[in-house]
Chains A and B, each alone.
Chain A
Amino acid sequence: MNTSNIAEKEPKTTAKLSSEQTLEIEDNHITVGSCFSDNPKMTMRNVNVFYADKQAIFDVSLDIEKNEVIAMIGPSGCGKSTFLRTLNRMNDTVDGCRMDGDICMDGDDLYAPKLDVVELRARVGMVFQKPNPFPKSIYDNVAYGPKIHGLADSRVDLDEIVENSLRKASLWEEVKERLHQPGTGLSGGQQQRLCIARAIAVSPEVILMDEPCSALDPIATAKIEELIEELSENFTIAIVTHSMQQAARVSHRTAYFHLGKLIEVNPTEQVFTMPQHQLTEAYITGRFG
């Protein structure tokens, strides 16, 4: 347990508040709160991420517990999305992106040279900011993952996987009559749930969500949040969100990032009533961001 208090010695980096007042982060900031767990699903130690010469993530250490929903919040450009994308190596596709440190899932090093990124992404699914169903039928969208990974032995198997996934994503009742119509014809919220169904069709262990509701209206958002709550029974979920209320509603733990540093990790109820770090306080009360 790491519970260092707010220290204001050697201030180097400063965060500008909306008025003249500034808050400081130490250069070698140590994350405040409870970032380690006894029953971790994923462990990250001293993770640094660089885009070409620019460092995007500074020395982040964090555990993600089994079946927990962890929310990552912070102002734009704080590195929360970058950090999320290191968890299934989506950053590999970005030119000039480099990472050091250890990221393990169930003790397996995700960045080991022998590990195939295709296998990793089957274990760690991802849902993106903008609903991005393939321009194919609803059925084919969900069946795509099982097909490429060869998870279904027969057509019947595949049908079952598709139905189960759509049910888990609370979409089955809405689309069962039109499985073979294009997925792009659904509403935004339905599309996003289709993307979630697509992600869980390959039975991942962890689901990463990168601002999954930022393009949705409040009703669709509420449905996704309800879904996240249900999914947390079977999956470990890491969600990046711009909406603090959303983080407060769906997550068990909240991690606050600022300028590439992990400032504070604490149980959500604590973060939103009594945050430990001044910066977290300033951010969630709407004093900068």
Chain B
Amino acid sequence: MANMTFENHIMKQFDEEIEEIRTRLMEMGGKVEQQLQNAIKAVSEADSSLAQEVIEQEQVVDEMEVEIDESCILIIARRQPAASDLRLIMMVTKAVNDLERIGDEANKIANHAILLSEDGGSTRGYPEIRHIGTSVVKMLANVLDAFARFDADAALQAIEEDKQIDLDYKTALRELVTYMMEDPRSISRALNILWVVRSLERIGDHAKNLCEQIVFVVKGKDIRHK
């Protein structure tokens, strides 16, 4: 099943509907990716107005989730998709959920960015956040890429990236705990940073879910919890 294609249905409208759903999903992915990048930027540059923008974006993403979900339900009701079509539609309903959750996490990061900027920007520029943030953004980009090309191998590689992110998260956690013990005054700041890092780690997990769903679409195998 090297080249996944969702074209050539006898019903041309079916092709179009599936294409529409894919485009909408990619669009939503793009929006969420943008949100994540902006949120991280808002944190590191203590840019509360950018953070505000991210929070406002959240509503758009929520609406897209609902829309795409509705389209999927409509396709299931009208076309009774089977095999690859069925897997794709099921994947999309789950993927929009994960993407929306990523958007939620970005939203949280933006909220913490506002709190952090109120405390005054950091001279050091939060290296933990920058490091994990870069990895997560890269991973999300890879995942969305894999989805666009239905590339199961790329998805499987992206799953490996999540393991690295988890490791980095633990390292960052230890580091932040050390800071808090060294300097109790920094606890509230460190906690804010901790929440941001934690959100980034959650985003990594959602991205991993997306990867698993891509593999399910392409290979028909469920690799969750394995």
Interface residues of A (CB under 8 A from B): 17-19, 21, 244-245, 248, 271-275, 278, 280-282, 284-289
Q: Which listed residue, B10, B14, B79, B83, touches A274 by the CB 8 Å rule?
A: B83
Q: Number of A-B pairs whose CB atoms are under 8 Å?
A: 48
Closest 6 pairs (CB-CB, A-B): A274-B220, A284-B82, A18-B10, A285-B85, A19-B8, A287-B8
The secondary structure that dominates the B interface is loop
Chain A residues within 8 Å of B79, by CB: 286
Q: Is the CB of B11 within 8 A of A286?
A: yes
Q: What A residues does B11 contact at CB under 8 A?
A: 286
Chain B residues positioned under 8 Å from A273 (CB to CB): 82-83, 86-87, 220
Contact check, B87 vs A285: say whether CB atoms are below 8 A apart.
no
> How many whole Å from A279's CB to the nearest CB in chain B?
12
Q: Give Cα A286 to B17, complex, Å.
A: 14
CA distance A248 to B79 in the complex (A): 15
Which of B82, B85, B220 has the largest number of chain A CB atoms within 10 A? B82
Interface centre among B1, B10, B14, B86 (most CB of A within 10 A): B10
B82 engages A244 (CB within 8 Å): yes
17 CB-based A-B contacts, threshold 8 Å: A18-B10, A272-B83, A273-B82, A273-B87, A274-B83, A275-B83, A278-B1, A281-B83, A281-B84, A282-B8, A284-B82, A286-B9, A286-B11, A286-B14, A286-B82, A287-B8, A288-B10
Interface, chain B (partner A; CB < 8 A) = 1, 7-11, 14, 79-87, 220-221
Q: Is B82 a contact partner of A272 (Cβ separation < 8 A)? A: yes
Give bound CA distance, A267 to B86, whole Å. 17
Which chain A residues lie closer than 8 Å to B9 at the CB level?
Answer: 18, 285-287
B79, B80, B221: which has the most chain A beta carbons within 10 Å? B80
Q: How many Å from the CB of B111 to the closest CB on chain A?
A: 41
| Chain B neighbourhood of A21, CB < 8 A | 8
State whether B7 touches A285 (Cβ < 8 A). Answer: no
Closest to A289 in B: B10
Which residue of chain B has its CB nearest to the CB of A20? B8
Query: B87 — which chain A residues lie within 8 A by C-beta?
Result: 273-274
Additional 8 contacts, C-beta under 8 A, given A18-B8, A274-B87, A285-B84? A19-B8, A245-B80, A248-B82, A273-B86, A273-B87, A274-B221, A281-B83, A287-B8
Q: How far is the CB of B3 from chain A (nearest CB, A)?
A: 11
Residues of A within 8 A of B1 (CB): 278
